[in-house]
Chains A and B, each alone.
Chain A
Amino acid sequence: MLRQLRAALGAGIVTEAPPAPEVEALGVRLAEEIRRRFGRSLAIRQVDAGSCNGCELEIGGLTGPHYDLERFGLHIVASPRHADCLLVTGPVTRNMVEPLRRTWQATPDPKIVIAVGDCGRDGGIFAGSYAVVGGVADVIPVDAVIPGCPPSPRALLAGLLDALGRRR
């Protein structure tokens, strides 16, 4: 326990502030957008609509010490009832159409939807398959798309900003 604590304190704060100016700048702009729309507080519910889990890995990276999503007032929540934003990944498989719709219905207004990854945009390499219906926008209204296969955490932050700006 002490060893663990010593290691943590010894390492100091590893959140990348000055060494990654681009991300930091994005983050500051992002926080301003959120202030306007959601008072600098955005609860995100992540929905996997058929993803290969590549995007999930990158989203997971957002919550770690390096990118530290929480410093901007963003956090990931466990229920769509608590959420302001649905972060949807993957080509929407036929089995996930109805659950995705229900999740969207279950989220209280006002809310935003962000499709993540090339699959979320239009089905990506799975487009046209008999098992998928296409991008997220084919099922629920999408406010922003964050392309990439998978998008990096930095791109994810940029995309969030885009979404909040567009809704204004």
Chain B
Amino acid sequence: MSTLVYGFAVLGSLVAAAVGIHGLAGGTWTLVAPGLLPLGGFAIAMDRLGGFFLTLVAAAAAPVSLYAIDYDRGARRGLLAYLAFLGAMALVPLAANAMTFLVAWELMSLASWLLVGREPGTSRPAWAYAVMTHAGFACVLAGMLLLGARAGSLAFADWRAVAPALDGTTRSVVFVLLALGFASKAGAIPLHVWLPLAHPAAPSHVSALMSGVMVKLGVYGLLRAGLEWLVPGPVWWAAAVLLAGVASALVGVLYTLVERDLKRLLAFSTIENVGIVLIGVGAGMVFRAEGLGALAALALVAALYHAANHAAFKALLFLGAGSVLHATGTRSLDACGGLVKRMPWTAAAFLLGSVAIAGLPPLNGFVSEWLTFQALLQNLRLPRPELNLLFAVALAGLALTVGLAAAAFVRAFGITFLALPRSEAAAGAHEAPPLMRAGMVATALGCVALALGVTWIVSGLAAVVEPLAGAAPPLAVQAWGTVDVGQGFAALSMPVVGVALALALAAPLVALRLAGARRDRRTYETWGCGRMLQTARMEYTAASFASPFKRVFDFFYRPDRRVDVRAHAESRFFVEATTYASPTRSIFDDWLYGPVGRAIGQATTVARTIQSGHPNLYLAYILAALVAMLVLG
């Protein structure tokens, strides 16, 4: 049964990808079924932006579903929810009116909620997800209804025409509501709290889709709201998005650095990457608000490129984490180790994903981060010192993020896959079954293709963002697969870099041979100053690797240090056991969600006094309400 469902999902995704690519290439069509839904009916329309996001959903869903055939073999629950989840995600970018959009959006949330709560012991993450996603939904709903009421229509096409005539306050209120709703789905700071709970709780193939694709639909909503429905907007909207992007990127990567659960680590890294996408979107909105359409287009190309890249490597990493979980039964970094010898395919795939997500050449993460840097550097054409300073902060923040991400993924890969196994489970790990490997290989190839095909992708994205930015980006494709940015401001050629690195890798081999170097190798134990044995307990752990970062950023982590030494009953000089813990405390839980949660708790306690449960009292309430309505009416 599960094989059938996932096989069907693979085929459906391939069809959807074909449709999406058709839209990406400029095909437009609409489909309206007025009777299917109230308030405007069911309506979908294809444009380039919708086509891009549909392609993103489908291209990620195909290998992930392939992987799931082996990963989720024999599953009975959640199969229908999986199909509904895929269908809803495919529908969201095509929706042409508010009703269709909201139904698809809620279906996506509900289906993913069912999947998050599928495994035993996931009721708390599922609950947190339900609360946050519905708070976000409420914001989107309110924003859309307000805009729809003022515009007199729920069709997106009408909003575009009406928006410039609306007064500034209304537009700002609508934007803030929509932005909050979409940002919470995207996992932007400080609305991210559900993400590190919900994404790891879901089965790994679902995590891959939630992290790789679903959060991007929040970005999609933000793009539509900020650059289509409500254009033109004031520059502070844009600055807010840019700052939210920088904050998300930094906070995300800082949590990634210290997290010890592999899937949670990847979830935090999703927050970071959404932050990078939002930096691009925010920069694009700033340029647009300042009337620099071409630069806006450049920033948006960077943002969409990173969105696509993140879908590829995050799906790959989650699939890799799923294989580790499948093989060892644990998600703890400190219980893994030594897997590179036991799971060579998974390790190679995870390494490729790590290099890509760390933004290193010659893979795709580098390309989009490079483009984002170029877009930010272009702010020198903006004659506003305060905005220049904002961009300088964004540049520095992005640079720190990229550097820390490399550190985080050295740790994630190194502790999980290298050195000696730290547990029985890791020592007895086995390689993933063939279809899981196939899914990982397919996404890995996607990462490579997204890097080497930069010239085609950039041209395609330029057409996607042109209607949003109002101008074509200053990108030119030149010989040797070179992409030129801003007429000679900067250039990048990934094919050349890739070939150069490959040749340079061979150069030392040849040089050593020519120099007559010895070629023998003797295997002996690791050098440990002559100690008698090496065990996995002597290795650096995930916690010790993160310790310099914890010290440098202690103002952020605010770590507790707890050392308990228990001595023997007979003598205090003989230690029986030592326990050490250094947990970090979340600023967001302590300063935002804690107080809000307590306030809600108190409010409900107060409200309980009027909710006595006596039917007569409720009848009295109804009467009072009726009287009030009659009087006011």
Interface residues of A (CB under 8 A from B): 79-81, 96, 98-100, 102-103, 105-106, 108-109
Q: Check A99–B529 contact: CB distance below 8 A.
A: yes
A105 touches B524 (CB 8 A): yes
Residues of chain B in range 556-603 having any CB-CB distance to chain A below 8 Å: none
Expressed in whole angstroms, the Cα–Cα distance for A105 and B532 within the complex equals 13
A108–B522 alpha-carbon span in the complex (Å): 8
Closest Cβ neighbor of B526 among chain A residues: A106
A92–B530 Cα distance when bound, in Å, is 14
- What is the minimal beta-carbon distance from B532 to any residue of chain A, in angstroms? 6
The one of B522, B524, B530 that contacts A99, using a Cβ cutoff of 8 Å = B530
Contact partners of A98 in chain B: CB under 8 A: 530, 532
Task: Contact check, A79 vs B531: say whether CB atoms are below 8 A apart.
Answer: no
Q: Do the beta carbons of A99 and B531 come within 8 Å of each other?
A: yes
Asked if B527 CB lies within 8 Å of chain A CBs, one says: yes
Given A79-B527, A99-B530, A109-B522: 11 more A-B contacts, CB < 8 Å: A80-B527, A81-B527, A98-B532, A99-B529, A99-B531, A102-B530, A103-B530, A106-B524, A106-B525, A106-B527, A108-B522
**Residues of chain B lying within 8 A (CB to CB) of residue A108:** 522
Interface of B (DSSP majority class): loop
Q: Report the bound CA distance from A79 to B530 in whole Å.
A: 11
The CA of A80 and the CA of B524, in the complex, are separated in Å by 12
CB distance from B158 to the nearest CB of A (A): 72
Chain B stretch 513-531: residues in CB contact (< 8 A) with chain A: 522, 524-525, 527, 529-531
10 closest A-B pairs (Cβ-Cβ)?
A99-B530, A102-B530, A103-B530, A106-B527, A105-B524, A79-B527, A106-B524, A81-B527, A98-B532, A80-B527
Residues of B within 8 A of A80 (CB): 527
- Closest-CB distance, A133 to chain B (whole angstroms): 15
Chain A residues within 8 Å of B532, by CB: 98-99
A-binding residues in B (CB < 8 A): 522, 524-525, 527, 529-532
Give bound CA distance, A95 to B35, whole Å. 88
Q: Which residues of B contact A103 (CB under 8 A)?
A: 530
Kindly state the separation between the CA atoms of A102 and B529 in the bound complex, as whole angstroms.
9
Which of B522, B527, B531: most chain A Cβ within 10 A? B527
Q: Which residue of A lies closest to B522 (CB)?
A: A108
- A108 CB to closest chain B CB (Å) equals 7
Which residues of B lie under 8 Å from residue A105 when comparing CB positions?
Answer: 524
Contact (Cβ within 8 A) B525 A102: yes
User: What are 7 sample pairs from A and B whose C-beta atoms fall under 8 A apart?
Assistant: A81-B527, A96-B530, A99-B530, A99-B531, A106-B524, A106-B525, A108-B522
Give bound CA distance, A47 to B524, whole Å.
Answer: 19
Specify which chain A residues have a CB less than 8 angstroms from the CB of B525 in the assembled complex: 102, 106
User: How many Å lie between the Cα of A109 and that of B530 in the bound state?
Assistant: 18
Instruction: Tell me how far the C-beta of B515 lies from the nearest C-beta in chain A, rounded to whole angstroms.
Output: 12
Once bound together, how far apart are the Cα atoms of A98 and B522, in whole Å? 20
Q: Which of B522, B529, B530, B532 has the most CB of A within 10 A?
A: B530
Q: Which residue of chain A is the closest to B520 with respect to CB atoms?
A: A109
Cβ–Cβ < 8 Å partners of B529 in chain A: 99
Chain A residues near B522 (CB-CB < 8 A) = 108-109
Min CB–CB distance A135 → chain B (angstroms): 18
Give the nearest-CB partner of A82 in chain B: B527
Interchain CA distance A98-B525 in the complex, whole Å: 13
Query: Once the chains are docked, how many angstroms separate the CA of A79 from the CA of B524?
Result: 14
Closest B residue by C-beta to A104 = B530
Taken together as a complex, chains A and B put the C-alpha atoms of A143 and B529 apart, in Å, by: 22
Please indicate the chain B residues that have their CB under 8 angstroms from the CB of A102 in the complex. 525, 530
Whole-angstrom CA separation of A80 from B530 in the bound complex: 10
CB distance from A80 to the nearest CB of B (A): 6
Q: What are the residues of chain A within 8 A of B530 when measuring CB–CB?
A: 96, 98-100, 102-103
CA separation between A96 and B532, bound complex, in Å?
Answer: 10
Q: Return chain A residues, CB-CB under 8 Å to B531.
A: 99
Name which residue of chain B comes closest to A79, CB basis.
Answer: B527
Most central of A99, A100, A103, A106 by chain B CB within 10 Å: A106
State in angstroms the CA–CA spacing of A102 and B530 once bound together: 6
B524 to chain A, nearest CB (A): 6
| A100 CA / B531 CA spacing, docked (Å) | 10
A101 to B524, CA, bound (A): 12
Chain A's nearest CB lies how many Å from the CB of B530? 3
For the complex, give the distance between the alpha carbons of A79 and B522 in Å. 16
Chain B residues with CB below 8 A from A106, complex form = 524-525, 527
Contacts of A99 in B (CB 8 A): 529-532
List A contacts of B527 (CB < 8 A): 79-81, 106
Contacts of B524 in A (CB 8 A): 105-106
Instruction: Give min CB distance, A18 to chain B, whole Å.
Output: 38
C-alpha spacing A109/B522, complex, angstroms? 10
A96 to B525 alpha-carbon distance, docked (Å): 17
> What is the distance, in angstroms, from A2's C-beta to the closest C-beta of chain B?
32
CA distance A160 to B221 in the complex (A): 75
Complex CA distance for A100 and B524, rounded to whole angstroms:
15
Question: Nearest Cβ distance between residue A142 and chain B, in whole angstroms?
Answer: 17
Chain B residues near A79: list those with CB within 8 A: 527
A103-B525 Cα distance, complex, nearest whole Å: 10
Task: Give complex CA distance A99, B527 in Å.
Answer: 10
Expressed in whole angstroms, the minimum distance between the Cβ of A24 and any Cβ of chain B is: 33
Q: Determine the residue in chain B with the shortest Cβ distance to A102.
A: B530
Q: How far is the CA of A102 from the CA of B528 in the complex (A)?
A: 10
Look across to chain A and name the residue whose beta carbon is closest to the beta carbon of B531: A99
Q: With A and B bound together, what is the CA distance between A105 and B525 in angstroms?
A: 9
- Determine the residue in chain A with the shortest Cβ distance to B529: A99
Contacts of A100 in B (CB 8 A): 530
Nearest-neighbour CB distance to chain A for B180, whole angstroms, equals 55
